[in-house]
Structures are given as structure tokens and as C-alpha cells.
A = this chain, B = another copy of it.
Amino acid sequence: MASTVKSKSDLFSWGELYFPVLSWLKTYSREDFHGDGITGIVTAILLIPQAIAYAMLAGLPPQLGLYASILPPIAYALFGTSRTVSVGPVSVAAIMIASALATPEISELGNPVESAVILALEGGFMLLLMALLRMGGLVNFISHPVLTGFTSGAAILIIFSQLPHFLGIAKPHCGFEFSCYFDAARQYNPITFAVGIFSIAVLISFSRPLVFFLKKLRTPETLIMAISKSGPLVAVFLGTLIVTHLNSAEANSVKIIGEIHSGLPKISLDFHISEKWRMLLPYAGFIALIAYIESVAIAKVTANMRNQRINANQELIALGAANIATAISGGMSVAGGFSRTMVNFSAGARTQMAMIIAVAIISLAVIFFTDLFEIIPKVTLAAIILLAIMPLVKIRDIAHTWSYDRADGTAELATFLGVLFFGIEEGLVLGIILTIAAYLRKTSKPHIAVVGRVPNTEHYRNINRHRVETWGNLLLLRVDENITFSNAGFIEDFTMVELAKKKSVKHVVFIFASVSYIDATALEVLENLNRSLKALGITMHLAEVKGPVMDKLEQTDFLVQLKLGQVFFRVEEAVYALVE
């Protein structure tokens, strides 16, 4: 009946451990290919306009988004443990890139394209370093409320960043002067604005209304999926069509993407390390962290639904490789996109083959259709971004969290407001600090009980809950948690308060049955406590100390310091020896 969690080397063979692609490739079937093929087409249709739009959002030329959609998904397919995550440019990473590139000391160094590539490369190597240090689990420490507060704040920043494109005006530099924004908005370009509204109308009608209509017509589910997800592509097509059919004066007033390098990305390892690298490093770290958390979150959700497993540490390797792949092919930072992965998943992707098929389609588009991409109006891309980003603003979630847990709600609100008013990284750091502080505060009160003997047994129970025997010269304290820097002080105080209440005590016995770890701070606190007790003429003893804890204590001279104090195997023995 006994069963233990098997080590990873039992669950996967060596090769499959580092190249999870092998685990699905060896059983890949024709049916799998059918599911993946259709999904690949749907995802490509969605990914092309998104890639261009997110490059624009990051303030970069469109090819950085397109290149980021070619090699990285292939790298992820090789190393990633999720079969359905769609890796490529994502909105939150894009706004973080924009924010990094806009900092004065970085923007004055010029060449934003180079900076974006360095960000991706540094981020990739940081993820690999985290994998090496087996830090996959550490990202659990960004709590969901902080993450939601962060994405909500970032989404609002994204929406504001797109408004100038939507109105066809230059980005105003107004700071906190609101009238200045209104003055700027009043210069709006009516044709651009009209194309924007039209694009939004197309995008909205392609989601629910069209699905409803197609269902009425009994269209097959997969076709409905493919058609409804082509909304962005249709919006781009129609937007472009309108602009190209306007007369030249009107057309000129609507801003288009402009020149795009055609052809596949060129692989280059030609990086020149400079001061810029050091300055970009912290930003690269934040982008990589958020990219990783987003990717793993969505990977877990989709994997669990099919009872597949995600290996958090292997994901660090996969995402690190994907970011290095984007950098050497001249693309922007990548992550697993939430909405795109859900599309991939629900369209029926069975393996990463779906993404490889999407990559093939995107590659063809990059080779043959860049001329067409050049005349896409920016306002249509802004409309695509706006509608993709809207669902990320979850103000109600903040109220919801607040009502469930005050500490989490505070952290969520602080992160949200921090992102909006102090900056993207500052808001995130604020949220993380608040969460951890609240957590440490909670864990600083460990459970500790004064115990006594249940009459006629050898059981010892909490004196507050059970009718038990106690003895005047003896205080039995059961510590129910590992003793660390965060709670050692509480245990010391608790002991002294109990002693103040019971002046007759000559022996204190700490029952360590549930203690499997005592850190250096806690050891020092126990040493101090022992000294204090000695000064009061009280002897400290231990009982039921676990093997590993005993081994550790024997390395130190704590047991020597106990002097008259003993270590009892069972509480019963302590009572027998100490009761007068």
C-alpha cells in the first residue's frame, strides 16, 4: 500500500527529461496531426496581427514581433513540458519593454532595436541561471493577487499608450497635467478615429455575434473557431483596404506601419557587450520573471485539464532557450501568451506540432507578404491591442480579494496603484514586499502549547483543551512547528510569560516531536533562553527530538550548554526523572 513520489528520473528517461519533445514525438499519430494541423492554422491567423501589434506596443519595428514568432516556438517545442502553450510576443512583456526603453538613461543611448534584443538575451540567460540554481519554485512567491494587480495596472498603461494611435495624434508629454491631454486629444484625426471605431466593430462582431450566427447555421465547431479567431486578420485586411482606397491626402493622414524588412530572420551571435548591458539587466530580470510566471500559470491550467504534468524547472530552461532564440534571430522577448494558448488549447492542439505548423505559416507570410504588412494602419493594430487587453483589467477582482482576505487585498491594490503611479517594476516590487511581509507576520506566531498528562495514560495534551495532570515544578511545552528566525522570538516570549504565571517551575521541557528543523537564529534564541533560565535557577530540557534535529544540535555545543538539562527520548521519561 505504501507509495512514495518517484524521483524524476523514474518518471522520464534521461532524454525525455531534457527534451520533452521526445515524449510525444515517439507516439505521434495521424489523429494528432489532424488536431494540430487545424489548430496551427487558427493560431497563425491570430498570431500574425498580434505579433505586429505587440511590437508596436513595445515601440519597436514590426519585424521584431514577427521574428519572435518563428524561432522561439520551435525552441519551446524542443524543451518545454507543456504541449499547448503558445510562445511568442505577449502584451505585458511588450509594455515592460516599452517602459525599459523609455527610461531616460537607456533611451539616450539610442538604438532601441539593439536594446530590445539585449533584453531578450539577458532575460534568456537569467532564466537558464535560475534553472541551474533550481529556482523554479521561487516564482510561487508572487501571489495571485499581486499578479492580478500587476496585470490590471499594466493593462491600463497599455490602453493609455494606445490612445494616441487611436486618435491619430503624437504621444503627448503632459506628466500629471490633465488639461494638456485634453488639448492633445482635441487635435485628433477624424479619419484615423473612424478607421479605429470600424476596426473595433469588426473585432467585436467576430467574437460572440458571429459565433452565435454560425452556430445557428450549424457550422462545424472547428470552422466556427477558425472563423471567429480570424477577427484580427479581417480587421487588418479591411482597415488596410479602406486606407488604400482613400484619396492620397486623406490616406496620408492615417499612419501606417511603414517599412518592414522582408524575409526570414538572420541568425547572428554578433553581440557587443557594453555599459548598456549592465543598465538593461534589471529590466531584463523583471521581464523574464513575469514572462516565466505567466507562461507557467497558463501551462499548468491547460496541462491539468488533460492530466499532463508541467515541470517548473524544465520550463525555465525552455523559456530561457526561447528567449535566447528570439535574441539571436533579432526578435523581442517572448513568453507563453495567455489568450493565445487558450485558443490553441480549445482549437484542439494536442502537441507543440500545432505551433510548429503555425510557425511554418508565419514564415511563409514573412517571406511573401511583408509588402502587404507595411500598409496596415496603426490604428487597426491599436484596436486589436485594446480588445485583447481589456479583459486583463480586473478591478472587480481587487474588491473580491479585499473582501476575502484583507492582507491579500491590500497587496493587490498596492501593486495596481503602484504600477499606475510609480512604474511597472516599482509596483511589482511593492506588491511582492507587502505579500511577504504579511506572510512572515502570520508565520511569526507558531502553535505552541503547555501540555499535561492525560490521567492513567502516557498521552500528553494541551492543558487548555483537555483535563490533564500537571506538576508544580515542571513546565511541559510542545512546539508544533519548525523553529526559525521568524518565530523563535515568539517561543522565547511565550516561555517567559508561562514562567511568570507559574513561579514554582524548576524544569522546562521542550517537546520537539513536530520540530524537524531549527535554523541558526532559532538556535541562538534557544541558547539565550537557556542562559536566562539558568540565571533564574531553572533548567531547560528537551524531549522527543527527531533524529535530524539531534544530529544538527550535536554539531553545536548547545547540548553542552544545557549542562544539567537532559534530552529525553519520551516525555514520560522526563516526567519520571524531574517530578519531585
Which residues of A are interface residues toward B (Cβ below 8 A)?
1-5, 137-138, 140-145, 300-301, 304-307, 309, 312, 401, 403-405, 407-409, 412, 435-437, 439-444, 450, 452, 463-464, 467-468, 470, 482, 484-490, 492-494, 496-497, 499-501, 517, 519-521, 523-525, 528-529, 531-532, 535-536, 552, 555-556
Contact = CB atoms under 8 A, between A and B. Distances in A.
Contacts of A443: 443
B307 A500 contact: yes
A436 to B, nearest CB: 6
A555 B400 CA distance: 10
B463 A3 contact: yes
Given A404-B552, A437-B138, A484-B439, A144 B306 contact: no
A442 B485 contact: no
Nearest to A438: B519
Nearest to A141: B440
Given A145-B520, A467-B1, A140 B444 contact: yes
Contacts of A143: 485, 519-521
A496 B306 CA distance: 11
Given A494-B5, A501-B3, A138 B439 contact: no
A364 B531 CA distance: 38
Copies of this chain present in the complex amount to: 2
A499 B486 CA distance: 35
A159 B8 CA distance: 51
A521 B142 CA distance: 9
The A interface is mostly helix, strand or loop, or mixed, namely: helix
A305 to B, nearest CB: 4
A321 to B, nearest CB: 23
Contact of A500 (B309, B517, B556): B309
A555 B141 contact: no
B485 A141 contact: yes
Contacts of A142: 485
Contacts of A494: 5
A141 B486 CA distance: 6
B521 A485 contact: no
Contact of A3 (B5, B442, B464): B464
Which interface residue of A138, A435, A519, A556 has the most chain B CB atoms within 10 A?
A519
A403 to B, nearest CB: 7
A9 to B, nearest CB: 15
B309 A497 contact: yes
Contacts of A521: 143-145, 408
A5 B485 contact: no
B439 A499 contact: no
Given A3-B464, A440-B141, A486-B439, A307 B499 contact: yes
Given A140-B485, A141-B485, A405 B309 contact: no
Question: Nearest 7 pairs between A and B by C-beta?
Answer: A304-B532, A143-B485, A408-B520, A144-B521, A305-B535, A143-B521, A140-B489
Contacts of A407: 519
A137 B404 contact: no
24 contacts: A1-B452, A3-B463, A3-B464, A137-B490, A138-B441, A140-B485, A140-B486, A140-B489, A141-B485, A143-B520, A143-B521, A145-B520, A301-B532, A305-B531, A305-B535, A309-B493, A312-B489, A403-B555, A409-B520, A412-B520, A435-B485, A436-B440, A442-B517, A443-B443
Contacts of A490: 137, 140
Nearest to A437: B138
Contacts of A552: 404-405
